[in-house]
Amino acid sequence: MIESIFKFFTTEPYWTLTRSILYLVGICIFVAANAAYLVWVERKGAGRFQRRPGPTESGPWGLLQPPADGIKLLAKQLMAPPGSDKILFWAAPLMVIAPPLVCLAAIPFGNNVLARDLNIGLLMVFSFGSINVMALMLGGWASRNKYAIISAARVVSQNVAYEIPMLLVVITIIMVTGTMNLQEIIVQQAGGFWNWNILRGIWDFSGGGWGHIGGNLLAPVTFLIFYICMLAETNRAPFDMAEAESELVAGAFTEYGGMGFGVFFMAEYANIVVGCALATILFLGGWQSGLGSGFGTLLTSWGVIGTVIGVGFFFAKMYFLIFSVVWIRWTFPRTQFYGLLNLSWKILIPISLFTLLLTSVLLKLPRLF
């Protein structure tokens, strides 16, 4: 009986639906666990950076603090402030958590370890990621709170400013790789770490010679621009204008309590995971070990074990970037809003345009060797 049911759900056309449901449940659990324990990492990290302990009372090393906070939020009553637009007020948290869940379905955590393999996976991630700013804007506007409305206006200005250089960098990567398929971008970075896009740029060692000179200088610049824009797009310090608790109480989330606030909190960390995963894919080789083509071939021959090891490499790179995001938050002070916009419009956009144009020119030049 059980075997027949298993065969029924593991044969087409039902297997595609079953796989999608399993991945959806897994992604929801992954997002919830990340939101809970990245908060613990952040609080512990903040304590270390500021030479204080951090959470210590709930469980060993404070590991039970995130579940305790989650239960506390679930126990709180959900209330909409008087005069607010209740439909938009409660729609905003759903709109802010849905895009990262959809984006994670297209993220390849290992060789063929993803929910949907899309030829335009990169385009899909950025398309759904742009909904985040609309959700924050609606949450602030529907609250009818002056602090939330000011924060919503800041969020729109910030995201419009930083989406431009980020997209220009991504277009540069697409020009170099020739694809928007995230798995294909990772496959092209196989071999040693010098083949990763953060170092390779628009040159390679194929044929025993360097390709277009100058590519290795452009690549780290594009990664740095992408990383800065990722911090701004996820509203992290020193670019956390959406919250700015020292100026605007809790920013766009001021009127939210209980799990309404909790969902915004979960979405913030889910977006950090998506941003760092995308940086890992585009610049750091994804699941590729970077130890040479021989080791990569060995992992491929190991089948499932090799895939698991590849997933481990992916998560190691991704969580290193996430730790750097936490490190930056507790190291640098929040920037002034006008300085934030000037950084994008006057510095990042011109540089990213220059790298895009130079890349397009160099790609048309013949190889030097």
Helix, strand, coil percent content, the chain, rounded in steps of 5: 70, 0, 25
At 60 the three-state DSSP class reads helix
**For the purposes of burial, counting CB atoms within 10 Å of the CB of 25, is it exposed (0-12), middle (13-18) or buried (19 or more)?**
exposed
Q: End-to-end distance of the chain based on CA atoms, in angstroms?
A: 65
How far is CA 211 from each of CA 156, 195, 216, 282, rounded to the nearest angstrom? 41, 12, 10, 20
The Cα 45–Cα 63 span in angstroms is: 13
Residues in contact with 302: Cβ distance below 8 Å, sequence separation at least 6, in sequence order:
309
Q: Are 220 and 160 in contact (CB under 8 A)?
A: no
The Cα 83–Cα 105 span in angstroms is: 38
pTM of the model: 0.89
The Cα 293–Cα 299 span in angstroms is: 10
Per-residue pLDDT of the chain (369 residues; tens, 9 = 90+): 555 655 655 666 666 777 777 888 888 888 888 988 998 998 898 888 888 888 888 888 888 988 888 888 888 888 888 888 889 888 999 899 999 998 998 999 988 888 888 899 999 999 998 888 888 888 888 888 888 888 888 888 888 899 999 999 999 999 888 899 999 999 988 888 888 888 875 554 444 444 444 455 678 889 999 999 999 888 887 887 666 666 666 777 888 888 888 888 888 899 999 999 999 999 999 999 888 776 666 666 677 788 888 899 999 999 999 999 999 988 888 777 788 889 999 999 999 999 898 888 877 775 544
Q: Are 270 and 31 in contact (CB under 8 A)?
A: yes
